[in-house]
Chain A
């Protein structure tokens, strides 16, 4: 006899067995070999759900089923209903969730459940003090976990944490341990340049505006912009082939409405022309393919003002990418070259 069948507390419940069609042989892909423990627990779960029983024992049952299969989305919905109906301690629920989350890192349902619990302004008028500690614990397991980052983004908007010192401190710490963490760079951009509470949430400021206006802030703090550009340069110096800080810098300049050419000199440090005694180009020493692309974009923009030397330089840079530094995308680079040589508008990203 199973755990529930032998428990007097559950004697009043008539379990509902699984009907997946397998007994009649109608379901080719749907037949599943269940463990007895799981089969019994879910048969009682079906029974209490059918009766919409919102009770302590049903809550325990959801915990049992989740411990065996946290991806069972229906059981999470039911659990949330019970938590609200019984007005259970929300902090206790979060504590319990912490353990489940650390055990099942790739699960969607856990994080949505956490957000459902955290959404109550009555229970959580401000951010609970340990919340960010726990998220850092999650990041210690997987610093690019998309569910956790999405949840953290929601927390920032919900509790208005853009300027919270903890946010930028955590981002700095994550980037110090892995400068290639694109999720952390993305979060940093959202903190610094993302829309605030009086604006619609959008990855880009003025997302509804015409393309030329996308990413432009209405008001720009130039000190902040300079600080962030400096930050990106330091990080690039430590790992020049890391895409993220180059993208970040593009975003910062775009938000500020400043041109890519501000960084020409900086990018040049990573693409050094070697010349012989007569000044003839012998070779190019390249420390970052992203710097080549940056220079190509700068020259391509200049080439629209009909400077053939700029156009030639842009094409030279793109050929470096095509032939040597990013040949797997040779068709893309060909497209860029063709755009410039045919005089079409350059695709400066």
Chain B
């Protein structure tokens, strides 16, 4: 099955909900077993997509919590699946899932050392010299990890475990002359990294550091004539950039600088109207990653029938509001 086989300008919500709910029954698909290293991310993507599509109870709550807890390691962090080493990216997904399920207290009840232990794991990955964050003990640096750290720690109300000022100074060093941000200082601007850098600044309350006109200009230039967005100049469009670019624009209040209806039409062309799910671009095979980011992209555009997403956390807005008003 491929996306975009019908000229659909309609959202096939029920199909997408079914697609996500039935992911575990697609065992006969060859590439499926290769994605164990993304398992915890996959649960987050699927769960968020279900929430935004108005089906918050689509996954059995207790099962999901059990799975998350089964991925936790002695050091407090989470691996992608049981038995995998702890890593920043999966730890962030674990916290996001628990927050969405309103189950953070399960960390105290059944987790290893409560939320404090998770916070310590994340804090231990901050590089004291530069303020940046590693993904794991092996020291790979990437602004994705820095954003992830601030995301999860703020959700746990544990931001004071890290040096936020230093982290923000590092993000500033990743800003390029075109207004965008790269994976590390001096690296080419990339919309995915822009999202992580702007998201980190948003969490730290330092969006004042962004050159909004310049960045907004660069981000809006990512829209192609077919309505889709790319991640860098002269690259192809991809439905997931609807999120990376769109959320970044939303955070700096410039989402109206792109043509929203053209983007929505492009995203809808990426859906598979029969089997459900979204692909990276029309005619390609669907997957849960692109399904999540396509639905989130439509949500940013206030598409009818989709719940509101929070552009900083990429989680249902109502849940984010609730947790930060508590």
B220 interface residue per 8 A CB criterion: yes
In the complex, what distance in Å separates the CA atom of A23 from the CA atom of B187? 45
Q: Which of A30-38, A90-98, A129-137, A228-236 contacts B (4 or more CB under 8 A)?
A: A30-38
Contact A153 B187, CB 8 Å, known A29-B43, A32-B35, A207-B172 = yes
B37 touches A332 (CB 8 A): no
Cβ A335 vs Cβ B179 within 8 A:
no
The reply to whether A329 and B223 contact each other, CB–CB distance below 8 Å, is: yes
User: Given A144-B232, A254-B177, is A69 in contact with B138 using a C-beta cutoff of 8 Å?
Assistant: no
B234 near A244 with CB under 8 A, answer yes
* A72/B37 in contact, CB under 8 A: yes
A208–B221 Cα gap in the complex (Å)? Answer: 26
The complex places the Cα of A116 from the Cα of B135 at a distance, in Å, of 14
In the complex, A71→B39 CA distance in Å?
12
Verify if A331 is at the interface (C-beta below 8 Å from B).
yes
Q: Which residues of A contact B190 (CB under 8 A)?
A: 146
Which one of A166-174, A195-203, A301-309 is at the B interface? A195-203
B217 touches A27 (CB 8 A): no
Q: Does A347 lie within 8 Å of B185, measured CB to CB? A: no
Bound together, the chains give a CA A29 to CA B232 distance in angstroms of 32
**Residue A11 lies at the interface, judged by CB distance under 8 Å to chain B:** no
B15 on the A face (CB < 8 A): no
Is residue B67 within 8 Å, beta carbon to beta carbon, of the partner chain?
Answer: yes
Instruction: Return A57 CB to nearest CB of chain B, in Å.
Output: 20
**When each residue 54-75 of chain B gets 1 if its CB lies under 8 Å from chain A and 0 otherwise, what string results?**
0000011011101100100000
Q: Residue on B with the closest CB to A329?
A: B220
Are the CB atoms of A32 and B36 closer together than 8 Å? Answer: yes
Whether A203 pairs with B138 at a CB distance below 8 angstroms is: no
Q: State the CA gap A195–B214 with chains docked (Å).
A: 22
B305 proximal to A (CB < 8 A): no
Rounded to whole Å, the gap between the CB of A49 and the closest CB of chain B is 9
Residues of chain A contacted by B138 (CB below 8 angstroms): 77, 80, 112, 116
Are B32 and A32 touching (Cβ within 8 A)? yes
A328 to B227, CA, bound (A): 9
Residue on A nearest B169 in the bound complex, by CB: A208
A72 → B minimal CB distance (Å)? 5
How many whole Å from B97's CB to the nearest CB in chain A? 10
CB of B254, distance to nearest CB on chain A (Å): 8
Query: Which of A1-9, A14-22, A279-287, A312-320 is the interface stretch?
Result: A14-22
**Across the interface, which residues of B come within 8 angstroms of A331, CB to CB?**
256-257
Bound CA span A28–B187, Å: 39
Which residues of chain B are near A189, meaning CB under 8 Å? Answer: 177
CB proximity of A119 to chain B, nearest CB, Å: 9
Size range of the chain A interface in the assembly: 35 or more
Q: Is A240 an interface residue (CB 8 A)?
A: no
A194 touches B186 (CB 8 A): yes
Asked if B18 is at the interface of the complex by the 8 Å CB criterion, the answer is no
Q: Which of A21, A69, A335 contacts B82 (CB 8 A)?
A: A21
- Chain A residues with Cβ below 8 Å from B186 are 153, 157, 190, 194-195, 201-203
CA–CA, A46 and B79, complex, Å: 14
| Given A153-B186, A328-B225, A332-B220, A31 and B85 contact (CB-CB distance below 8 Å) | no
Min CB gap B177→A, angstroms: 4
Across the interface, do B43 and A149 meet the contact criterion of CB distance under 8 Å? no
Tell me whether B173 and A202 are in contact (CB under 8 A).
Answer: yes
Which residues of chain A (231-268) have a CB below 8 Å from chain B?
Answer: 242-244, 247, 250-251, 254
The B141-200 residues at the A interface (CB cut-off 8 A) are 169, 172-179, 181-190
Report A-chain residues with C-beta under 8 Å of the C-beta of B183: 146, 150
Can you list 14 residue pairs at the A/B interface with Cβ under 8 Å?
A16-B83, A21-B82, A27-B67, A29-B43, A29-B46, A72-B37, A77-B137, A180-B233, A186-B189, A187-B188, A204-B177, A251-B178, A332-B216, A349-B179
4 cross-chain pairs, A with B, having the tightest CB-CB distances, nearest first: A33-B27, A186-B188, A347-B213, A203-B176
Q: A116-B138, A201-B173, A328-B259 are in contact. List 5 more A-B contacts (CB 8 A).
A: A21-B66, A29-B42, A150-B183, A183-B188, A242-B234
